[in-house]
């Protein structure tokens, strides 16, 4: 709730945010028809003339709605088998349905935008241009709800929608408790959903979204790309159309070249064929996505699948089970060339997930302060590729935005 009230802040360190508002307290006042929320020591920018901004009130409600629903109905009720593939997908479905994401009449028009919160001004402005072109074509936007590449496409889409007199534009933000403090929801989000963990957050993206645009980012963006590619490399998804476009301004071309080379050398040409890279051409990105979404609509229609939730996408449990970022778990990851490609992608995704956790979660940071950096082990070739990619992210200052120097939370062995 503090993260929601802290919207617009450039702090991407959860502990720093908590330290800045040590007097913040939440209370509840019981009333005849429900509960009234009591806040003390809340950030002043959440109020105008002593009254809370309406968008923040809605987002506070979303936090309460999703955390209470997930705990009472999904986790504690025993109604969901959270150890099986269908059970986890069913839980994701019920959480997003309860949050009002599955609107009717449904259409194939929700574009998920991934990218970093710590991007340059040039890259941020480019995300707005792409969002504008998407909005002009009647497409809606879903992001991780934070700043940077998560805010820019939404901001651009609002203008595109306004020009087309679209008054019901959707700006969906999907986050989870472990990352929300480091990536506070931006004020444009009009549908905020709090998933219980990172894996269910990622599954929600690919179940409710119809295509994905990837902007420049860092290790978190690489994690998301590996997650999706690992799913698409599953033989069960060979015929599943899922548009994936990587894009950025001309200055971001080296970033995507590094990602492309890493994917090619670890997951192979089959993975590279599942995405396209378009540099410095927002209009072409939107046109390509619009065209590819027609194929998604035809596939869903031919197979009797819902437009609002992708039931047919096969997601293995290794992509669904929460990964607890500990020193033991990180060092035990099996990363070598002999694994099936989708399994290798899953383990690489977990390695990136651990680094993200070490960067932004206060509990993981405390573990690293106590026991030192995580150790990532694997074959020599892949470790060299991984070390080069991560070093490039650090050199390009793509890990964090607060503070001057980045101290790696990992060591590649």
Q: Please write down the HEC assignment for all residues of 242-293.
A: CCEEEEECHHHHHHHHHHHHHHHHHCCHHHHCCCEEEECCHHHHHHHHHHHH
Distance CA 319, CA 205 (A): 13
pLDDT, one tens digit per residue, over 190-241 is: 999 999 999 999 999 999 999 999 999 988 899 999 999 999 999 999 999 9
Are 206 and 228 contacting, i.e. CB atoms less than 8 angstroms apart? yes
Least confident of 102-106, 115-119, 356-360, 399-403: 399-403
pLDDT band at 406 (very low <50, low <70, confident <90, very high): confident
Which pair of structure tokens corresponds to residue 346? 């899953």
**Cα dihedral sign, 278-295-237-354:** positive
Distance CA 150, CA 127 (A): 9
Provide long-range contacts, Cβ within 8 A and 24+ apart, for 54-60: 55/187, 55/189, 55/190, 56/4, 56/5, 56/7, 56/187, 58/190, 58/192, 59/4, 59/7, 59/185, 59/189, 59/192, 60/1, 60/4, 60/5
What residues have CB less than 8 Å from 374, skipping those under 6 apart?
A: 325, 327, 330, 331, 354, 355, 358, 368, 409, 410, 411
Where exactly are the structural domains of the chain? 93-302, 319-412
- CA dihedral in degrees (252, 258, 264, 270; nearest 10)? -20
Please compute the mean of the pLDDT values over residues 131-146 and round it to a whole number.
96
| DSSP codes of every residue in 197-254 | SHHHHHHHHHHH-SEEEE-S--HHHHHHHHHHHHHHTSGGGTT----EEEEE-GGGHH
SS3 (DSSP) at 112: strand
Options 3.40.50.150, 3.40.50.450, 1.20.950.20, 1.10.1740.10; CATH of 93-302 = 3.40.50.450
Residue with tokens 């802290």: 6
**Over pLDDT 90: what percentage of the chain?**
78
What residues have CB less than 8 Å from 348, skipping those under 6 apart?
A: 226, 266, 335, 386
pLDDT band at 14 (very low <50, low <70, confident <90, very high): confident
Q: What is the mean pLDDT of the chain?
A: 92
pLDDT, one tens digit per residue, over 325-362 is: 999 999 999 999 999 999 999 999 999 999 988 887 87
Which pair of structure tokens corresponds to residue 235? 């033989």
Distance CA 312, CA 163 (A): 35
Please compute the mean of the pLDDT values over residues 314-333 and round it to a whole number.
93
SS3 (DSSP) at 162: helix
pLDDT at 33: 84
Residue 257: alpha-carbon gap to chain centroid: 21
* Closest to 149 measured CA to CA, from 121, 176, 119, 179: 119
pLDDT band at 401 (very low <50, low <70, confident <90, very high): low
Q: What is the rounded radius of gyration, in angstroms, for the C-alpha atoms of the chain?
A: 20
Cα separations in angstroms, 155 against 125, 191, 216, 234, 319: 10, 14, 17, 35, 31
pLDDT at 180: 86
Which pair of structure tokens corresponds to residue 256? 């995507």
pLDDT, one tens digit per residue, over 19-36 is: 889 999 999 999 888 888
The answer on pLDDT for 10 being more than 70 is no
Please confirm whether the linkage preceding 105 is cis (ω < 30° from 0). Answer: yes
The answer on pLDDT for 12 being more than 90 is no
Which pair of structure tokens corresponds to residue 364? 């993981």
pLDDT at 167: 94
pLDDT at 405: 72
The more confident residue out of 190 and 12 is 190
Are 249 and 126 contacting, i.e. CB atoms less than 8 angstroms apart? yes
Predicted structure pTM score: 0.91
pLDDT band at 404 (very low <50, low <70, confident <90, very high): low
Cβ atoms within 10 Å of 197's Cβ, excluding its own: 18
């Amino acid at each position: 709730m503090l993260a929601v009230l802290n919207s617009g802040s450039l702090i991407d360190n959860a502990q720093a945010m908590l330290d800045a508002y040590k007097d913040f307290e939440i209370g509840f006042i019981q009333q005849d028809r429900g509960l009234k929320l009591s806040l003390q020591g809340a950030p002043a920018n959440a109020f105008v003339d002593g009254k809370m901004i309406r968008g923040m009130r809605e987002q506070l409600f979303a936090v309460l709605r999703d955390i209470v629903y997930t705990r009472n109905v999904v986790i504690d009720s025993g109604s969901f088998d959270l150890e099986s593939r269908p059970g986890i997908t069913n839980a994701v479905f019920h959480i997003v349905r309860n949050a009002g994401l599955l609107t009717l009449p449904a259409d194939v028009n929700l574009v998920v935008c991934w990218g970093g919160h710590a991007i340059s001004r040039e890259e941020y402005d480019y995300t707005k241009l792409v969002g504008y072109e998407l909005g002009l074509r009647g497409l809606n936007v879903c992001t991780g709800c934070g700043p940077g590449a998560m805010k820019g496409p939404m901001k651009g889409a609002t203008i595109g929608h306004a020009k087309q007199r679209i008054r019901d534009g959707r700006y969906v933000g999907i986050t989870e408790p472990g990352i929300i403090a480091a990536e506070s929801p931006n004020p444009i989000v009009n549908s905020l959903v709090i998933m219980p963990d990172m894996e269910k957050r990622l599954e929600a993206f690919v179940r409710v979204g119809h295509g994905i645009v990837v902007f420049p980012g860092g290790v978190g963006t690489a994690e998301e790309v590996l997650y999706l590619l690992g799913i698409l490399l599953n033989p069960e998804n060979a015929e599943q159309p899922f548009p994936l476009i990587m894009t950025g301004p001309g200055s971001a071309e080296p970033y995507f070249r590094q990602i492309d080379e890493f994917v090619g050398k670890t997951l192979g040409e089959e993975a590279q064929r599942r995405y396209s890279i378009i540099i410095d051409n927002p209009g072409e990105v939107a046109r390509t996505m619009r065209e590819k979404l027609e194929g998604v609509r035809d596939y869903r229609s031919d197979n009797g699948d819902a437009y609002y939730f992708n039931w047919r996408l096969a997601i293995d449990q290794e992509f669904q089970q929460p990964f607890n970022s500990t020193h033991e778990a990180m060092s035990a990851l099996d990363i070598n060339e002999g694994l099936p490609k989708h399994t290798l992608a899953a383990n690489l995704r977990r390695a990136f997930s651990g680094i993200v956790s070490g960067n932004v979660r206060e509990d993981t940071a405390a573990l690293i302060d106590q026991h030192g950096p995580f150790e990532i082990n694997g074959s020599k070739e892949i470790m060299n590729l991984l070390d080069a990619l991560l070093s490039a992210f650090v050199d390009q200052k793509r890990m964090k935005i607060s503070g001057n120097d980045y101290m790696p939370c990992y060591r590649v062995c």
